[in-house]
Amino acid sequence: MKIDTDGGCVELVRADDELVGVLAECWPLGARKTSDGKFCRLMMQADAREMWGVILPSAMPVEKDFMPKFLQLKRMLLPAALNIVAQMFGGAMLAGVFCRGNNAGEHGLVVFPALRTSWRDNLKIQPQSAAGRHDAFATIEQHSEWKIIMEFLHVFNELMTRLLRLKEFYDFPSFLPAGMIRCEHDFMAINGRLVYIGVEPDSRDQCWQMLTDIKIRQVLHLPVKMSVGCKDEAYKINYEDFYVTTTASINSDRGHTQVCVPELIGSIVSDRFSIGWDGCVALQPVGISQSLRIDPHHLRRLDRQVTSADKAGNIDLWKRRAVLAQKELGWQGLILVNDQPVQYDEAIEEIEKATRSLNHEAKKPAAPAMLKGLKKVLRRTLVTILESPAAENAGQAIAMLDKADTAEELRAAADFIFQAFNLEPYPVKAGKTPFPPAGGPINFINDTSLRRPKLLLLYQIACRISHERRYSRTEIEAIVSDELNSVDACRRNDFRFHTDVVIRNLVDIGYLDRDPHKNEYWLAVSRTV
């Protein structure tokens, strides 16, 4: 097949079986021809495992209206850059352009490396779940894969500067499974050759013109279909079906707790993480705003249509999920506060604070309205533990508060609470804590409605980091995830509040310094008291 352009002709030559054999030998999850021989199936998922790609996020802000054109320009350059670096390795590399956030969010390049000649060797550097991604990425950074990826990025930037008069800068790379990356990829480099993997080439595509401009006249053609290979029936997800949970579970991941109970009915959401992230799927219960990460083995297909009764049943189960889950699993120290799972100890801390405030005001001539307000706050905190092992003491305390009308009676109720829950009537004095600098501005936050909450979040995170030590990536992620629990639910699925993005923001704003080789972080400012 020949494709004519203004600069000449590009000939597409059908790839032979030898090239398919090379791809099959190096691709970690497998590659093979279809039974009719027309296509090559490139496996991007095998049961709970997915291919992981290196994300190279751009730091260039792009207007929403210009983003589609901008991505098209980058896509036009990609095969030319891939062709130049193809000669550096004998395996395979899939590269593409990605954008998250409806043409207004994070964008950049993505590379799926399979640069070693054996699929076993390439599979070794592929993480089995999110828990192993930092070690896997560190392996890539320390070996030839990183040199080739950086060379690809360098060549791509040179082409952008020379041909498009655009200079782009890139942020810290990340490592994500394929299911979390929405990208376009039409070309691969296989065994030192540029290969077009689309099914039907479009002669109007500007990438062909670009190839002729740099004197590339011949490209191999291997029609590829990205495929999922699942031997385990549990991972053969049908996104049009509804599913029912079969077991209770309490999962805490980096400070975020999810509670699941049996008989929740919902559908699988494809864009909220992927199976490769943790071997789980995202279940969206009917009538519930929050999705749950669930092992697909703990789901069964619903063999009927969903009704309004299912929605009502879900809401009832959801309100009682902490009690129901712990009835099956045993006491896990978990309660619901404002519909959010929190640890019992955290609730006790709130009770201690509220009791101290009431006790303090009740010892001095305080306005009745103030005492009434403090009494209300304390009562509300006690209600949160009525379904815990401390329910009896909480009930007695609430009864005393309900009967208390005078300052003396309120002090008596406070004394009972201090003794019943072994609390300190007065806070322990501590030394001053060093705080980080005010920081800012953050150039990458263009939404004025988001700017203040994001800056405040970054400041709060920085205040939890000590000047006295260095932190691993895992430790920083735990701190960030814990603070993200305080973010409004409507923003939790916003990519700008994704853990990786927030960590990059902390570095960009100047709160943190980073050693990319050791993957360590520390406060970037000197101690101030």
> Is position 438 within any domain?
no
In total, the chain counts a number of residues equal to 529
Asked if residues 327 and 251 have their Cβ atoms less than 8 Å apart, the reply is no
Distance in angstroms (rounded) separating the CA atoms of residues 458 and 452: 10
From first CA to last CA, the distance across the chain in angstroms is: 72
> Is position 25 within any domain?
yes
**Which string of DSSP letters, residue by residue, matches 424-491?**
-SSPPP-PPPP--------TT---HHHHHHHHHHHHHHHHTS-TT--EEHHHHHHHHHHHHTTS-GGG
Judge if 180 and 275 occupy the same domain. Answer: no
**Which string of DSSP letters, residue by residue, matches 238-257?**
-TTSEEEE-S-EEEEETTEE
**How big is the CA angle at 128 (ends 277 and 268), to the nearest 5 degrees?**
30
Judge if 109 and 169 occupy the same domain. Answer: yes
Judge if 242 and 223 occupy the same domain. Answer: no
Judge if 48 and 123 occupy the same domain. Answer: yes
> Is position 427 within any domain?
no
In 149-235, where do the E strands start and end? Answer: 174-177, 183-190, 193-196, 218-221, 224-229
Judge if 238 and 382 occupy the same domain. Answer: no
Asked if residues 116 and 22 have their Cβ atoms less than 8 Å apart, the reply is no
Domain end, chosen from 332, 364, 380, is at: 332
State both tokens at 305: 């249509």
Provide the CATH number for the domain around residue 460.
1.10.10
> Is position 443 within any domain?
no
Q: Cα 357 to chain center, whole Å?
A: 39
Range 513-519 contact pairs with CB under 8 angstroms and sequence separation of 24 or more: 514/172, 515/470, 516/141, 516/172, 517/141, 519/134, 519/138, 519/472, 519/473
Please enumerate in sequence order all residues whose Cβ is within 8 A of that of 78, keeping only pairs 6 or more positions apart, or say none.
95, 96, 97, 109, 156, 186, 187, 207
> Is position 348 within any domain?
yes
Centre a 10 Å sphere on the Cβ of residue 162 and count the other Cβ atoms it contains.
10
Strand partners, 5: 8
pTM: 0.69
> Is position 440 within any domain?
no
> Is position 416 within any domain?
yes
Q: Which of 288, 80, 104, 345 is nearest to 186 (CA)?
A: 80
- In angstroms and rounded to an integer, the radius of gyration of the C-alpha atoms of the chain is 28
Question: What are the pLDDT tens digits along the chain (529 aa)?
Answer: 788 777 778 888 898 889 999 999 999 999 998 888 888 999 999 999 999 999 998 888 888 888 888 888 888 889 999 999 998 888 999 999 988 765 556 888 999 999 988 999 999 999 988 888 888 998 898 888 899 999 999 999 998 888 778 788 888 888 999 988 888 888 999 998 999 998 888 877 778 888 887 788 888 999 999 888 888 999 988 888 999 999 999 987 656 789 999 999 999 988 778 899 889 999 999 999 999 999 999 999 999 999 999 999 999 999 999 999 999 999 888 998 888 888 898 899 899 999 999 999 888 887 888 888 999 999 999 999 998 899 999 999 999 999 998 999 999 999 999 999 988 888 755 554 444 444 444 444 444 445 667 777 888 888 888 888 889 988 998 899 888 877 765 555 666 778 888 888 888 778 888 887 778 899 886 443 3
The boundaries of the domain holding residue 295 are: 233-332
| Secondary structure in 3-state letters for 260-307 | ECCCCEEEEECCCCCHHHHCCEEEEECCCCCCEEECHHHEEECCCCCC
Domain end, chosen from 332, 356, 386, is at: 332
